[in-house]
Amino acid sequence: MTDYFKKSVLELHGYTSPPQREYRVKLNQNESPFDVPDPVKIELTAAARSLLWNRYPCNESPALMHRLAQRHAVEPEQILLGNGSNQLFQTLLAATLEPGDAVVYTPPTFSLYELYTRVYDGRLVHVMQPPGADYPLSEVLAAIKDHRPRLIYICSPNNPTGWEMDLDSLTRICQAAPGLVFFDEAYGEFCAQSAIPSLDKFENLLISRTFSKAFSMAGLRFGYFVGNAAVIAQLRKVNIPYNINIFTELAALRLLEHEKEMARGIEFIKKERDRVFAALQSMAGILVFPSAANFILMKGPAGLDLFQALKERGILVRDMTGYPLLSGYQRVSIGLAHENDIFLQTLEQIMHDNVEKR
């Protein structure tokens, strides 16, 4: 294999998806618990019949760029479309990273940042941010000064901790950064603020968005970047042509027409998140952290394999043990009310049984 592949690829473990099997409650992938409404599905499938499947789609979908620009009060030239935000992240690294270029980030955070940076032979400079801790701003600024990074990664709200960055800290970083600041707002609809208004002040700020969470399109793969028009123009040179298929384009445009309905689902998830957090906070033996996303990070007592105990009872959560500083932690997506109730009741029983065994 050494004759076929780069050393950086051979050394990787690769991305592993969480277990998929029969389950009672699925709370392990930060998906929306709401499927696209049936009337919209019927409308979409009928409209799909009139599309020309034998022809390439319109490259970059001007209609979708225009509609997203309206949504965020920017110009269409500031939008770059992708087959999921992860595809655009690869485009970003392909366009920017030379071997050995420094990249500053704050683990534990989204695992693909590290994986793809290694694939593109970037030099990772990590400043740790334990769950529940403030953003290590002074340490990050020092790393920027010492390493002059080509890229800085910030996920806000952060996956998997749920932490949200304040915009004053983002301002400090953008002012100090010699390269691009990649600001991942995959969970932006669930938090209090967006960095998009800051684009007017900082040419080096690049924001990532997705329809996989709040817009119930995880199965159709659609994401986009919002940034300075000159930055987007350079990324556009590297982006994959025809990367938005005709059905994904159709679905994204229709769901933007139904944004008020999507917003009701977002508000429900936020209220359920707060309810689940309060319930977890009241459970003896459970350590839990506030979240601005559609998931919650928690940890059970030492010696209890909470992931396995929940899995045996048909409840799928995400085991975060492979992440830095997160051995024994679990990430729980927010589901429908009855799913959250089943999770909480089952967890309470597991905790009760664990105490009884001692």
List the Cα angle 197/234/125 in 5-degree steps: 75
Cα separation values, 218 from 127, 166, 283, Å = 30, 27, 32
Cβ-based neighbours of 299, under 8 Å, separated by 6 or more: 286, 287, 288, 306, 328, 329, 330
Which residues touch 42 (CB under 8 Å, ≥6 apart)? none
pTM of the model: 0.94
Which pLDDT tens digit goes with each residue over 197-251? 999 999 999 999 999 999 999 999 999 999 999 999 999 999 999 999 999 999 9
What is the C-alpha to C-alpha distance for residues 78 and 231, in angstroms, rounded to an integer? Answer: 8
* Confidence band, pLDDT 50/70/90 cuts, at residue 357: confident
Average predicted confidence (pLDDT) for the chain: 94
Query: Cβ–Cβ contacts within 10 Å for residue 9, how many?
Result: 13
Give the CA angle between residues 156, 298, 286 to the nearest 5°.
150
Burial code of 103-132, b = ≥16 C-beta within 10 A, e = fewer? bbbbbbbbbbbbebbbbbbbbebebebebe
Interval 343-356 mean pLDDT: 92
Identify the structural domains of the chain with CATH numbers, from first to last.
7-35+260-357 (3.90.1150.10), 50-257 (3.40.640.10)
Distance from C-alpha of 293 to C-alpha of 269, rounded to nearest angstrom:
9
Residue 69 burial (CB < 10 Å; 0-12/13-18/19+)? middle
Determine the pLDDT at residue 12: 78
* Per-residue confidence band for 21, with pLDDT thresholds at 50, 70 and 90: low
Provide the 8-state DSSP code for 31: -
With cut-offs at 50, 70 and 90, classify the pLDDT of residue 22. confident
For the chain, the distance separating the N- and C-terminal CA atoms, rounded to the nearest angstrom, is 51
Burial class (CB in 10 A: 0-12, 13-18, 19+), 14: exposed
What pLDDT, on the 0 to 100 scale, is given for residue 186? 97
Taking only the tens place, the pLDDT of each residue in 270-281 is: 999 999 999 999
pLDDT score for 355: 78
Bin 117: left if φ > 0, else alpha if -120 < ψ < 50, else beta: alpha
At residue 120, does pLDDT exceed 80?
yes
In the chain, which residue ranges form alpha helices assigned H by DSSP? Answer: 7-10, 38-49, 62-72, 85-96, 111-119, 137-147, 167-176, 229-238, 246-257, 259-281, 306-312, 337-357
Backbone φ and ψ for 244, nearest 5 degrees, come out as: -110, 110
Report residue 18's pLDDT band, with 50, 70 and 90 as the boundaries: low
Q: Check residue 159 and give its pLDDT.
A: 98
Distance CA 82, CA 93 (A): 14
Q: Which amino acid is at 308?
A: Q
Tokens representing residue 169 in the block: 């800290």
Question: How far is the CA of 119 from the CAs of 11, 112, 113, 153, in angstroms?
Answer: 9, 10, 10, 16
User: What whole-number percentage of the chain has pLDDT above 70?
Assistant: 97
pLDDT at 108 over 80: yes
**In which band, very low, low, confident or very high, does the pLDDT at 17 lie, cut at 50, 70 and 90?**
low
pLDDT digits (tens, 9 = 90+) for 249-262: 999 999 999 898 89
User: 119: helix, coil or strand?
Assistant: helix
One-character DSSP codes across 141-197: HHHHHHH--SEEEEESS-TTT-----HHHHHHHHHH-SSEEEEE-TTGGGSS--SGG
Please report the pLDDT score of residue 358 as a whole number.
65
For residue 335, pLDDT beyond 70: yes
Strand duo 25-26 + 102-105: pairing: unpaired
Q: What is the largest CA-CA distance in the chain?
A: 66
* pLDDT value for 20: 64
The answer to whether residues 97 and 117 touch, using CB atoms and an 8 Å cutoff, is yes
